[in-house]
Amino acid sequence: MSATSVPGSTPEPTSVVTRFAPSPTGFLHLGGARTALFNWLFARHNGGQFLLRIEDTDRARSTQPAIDAILVGMRWLGLDWDGDAVFQFARSDRHAEVAHAMVANGHAYRCWMTQAEIAAQREAAQAAKKPLRIRSPWRDRTDGPADQPFVVRLRAPQEGSVTIEDQVQGAVTVQNAELDDLVLLRSDGTPTYMLAVVVDDHDMGVTHVIRGDDHLNNAFRQLPIYRTNGWPEPVYAHIPLIHGSDGAKLSKRHGAVGIEAYRDELGILPEALDNYLLRLGWGHGDAEIIARDEAVKWFDLAAVGKSPSRFDLKKLEHLNGLYIREADDARLAKLVAARMTGADEARLTAAMPALKPRAANLNELADGAQFLIATRPLTIDEAAAPLLAGDAPAILAEVHAALDALDGWDTDGIEAAVRRVADARGLKLGQVAQPLRAALTGRRTSPGIFDVVALLGREESLGRIADRMAS
């Protein structure tokens, strides 16, 4: 039986099996994407398996669009999983089976506590300024009303302590008296998240649970389920959360949006986001640009830091710009063409060497390429209009004549022709290039002006210049 099989019996041991288990109550966010990446890298580094489980037991909040977004986001980031995705809700009968077996062997019990009784314990805990620890009067009773609904609770140990040798946090100890008898089955017979996670991790053969440190307390509550069933315990690694650049918990104002927003709205490349997420809490010496094969080779849990990482959009965009400059021109052209109306991919591909050095994201690439599809007469930006005043029309007329006289149409010949005009007028090159740029692009800034002229071609360039030169 492979580790991806989940029929409900102990799977055959494998070296390393990790999993990513998102809840489809929202889209795939930065923290979840980094957790998935770390699990994927650890499995691939160790020659193991990386599994995907959709924890959709919250039926009221789980949505198909969220499931789709998670799957698409994972694929976009290149985080392929082994086998089919497992849907937790479909395994509810298996979860309940385990809970009933735990009742039968005395490791869990039926509880008929009322909401009023639970509320009273909550109020007492608040008055004593202590955390709520449910103490059920039914823990050691078996005379409950058979015709009344009940929940099934774990009979958690109440004495001693438990220590987790966490691969990131180190040794962490909790007194068992601090833990309560968590609910395994609700009064309608449906399993809770806490039970389902343990059963699924066991049945899927998960050996290493790598997740956010906000789940560290859950580990202590879940361990008794492993132990009472005689199941092998996973190795835990709880990674710190991602904070905003100001050190506060990451929120929408910091950029805590779905992964699709980084792809669609911000124009980030997947390899850049992967690299950035990898460096949020993990490092390998001074390496900043880390290729996927290097990440697989180098990744280990020992290099994951204990402190929260800080997300910085400017650093992400800087890194993205580096990846854009190394990216294949045809690939970038295809991505940019999707952001423009009427763009020609072949022309964009030819323009990429001139466009890439100036862009930090795909939006800037598309914006920089707008001059290629602009129609005559060009709309001149307010900032560029002054460049076409004064002597500019006369200068443009001389540039037009010099370019029109060229036999070929390449950047070297174009530059030489423009320089001759500047020299003849006793001007610096910029004093000629600036009105030329405004005439050709309608803007003050653009790729190199000689590249612009070459990319537009003879007819279009001369036509745009003619629109702005003296008659």
Written as six digits, the tokens of 295 are 């990440």
Can you tell me whether residue 122 is helix, strand or coil?
Answer: helix
Tokens matching residue 202: 């066991």
Q: If phi over 0 gives left and psi between -120 and 50 gives alpha, with beta otherwise, what is residue 174? A: beta
* Tokens representing residue 181 in the block: 């008898």
Cβ 192 vs Cβ 204: under 8 Å: no
Helix axes 411-425, 392-404, angle to 10 degrees: 140
Closest by CA to 446, choosing from 353, 371, 392, is: 371
Is the Cα dihedral 404, 406, 408, 413 positive or negative? negative
Q: Which residues are annotated as a binding site?
A: 252
**Closest to 371 (Cα-Cα) out of 453, 468, 302:** 453
158: left (phi over 0), alpha (psi -120 to 50) or beta: alpha
**Residue owning tokens 């919250």:** 58
Of 190, 179, 194, 187, the residue nearest 112 (C-alpha): 187
Token code pair at residue 284: 């390998």
| Among 85, 100, 210, residue whose Cα is nearest residue 150 | 100
Q: Is 306 a catalytic residue?
A: no
Among 130, 252, 297, 356, the one annotated catalytic: 252
Euclidean distance between CA atoms 352 and 106, whole angstroms: 69
**In Å, how far are 14, 23, 78, 196, 397 from 69, measured between CA atoms?**
30, 12, 14, 23, 55
Closest CA to 72 of 39, 30, 27: 27
At residue 327, the 3 state secondary structure works out as coil
Two tokens at 276?
Answer: 């950035």
Rounded distance, CA 456 to CA 370, Å?
Answer: 11
Q: H or E segment at 52?
A: strand 49-54
Per the annotation, binding residues for ATP are 252
The residues that are catalytic are: 252
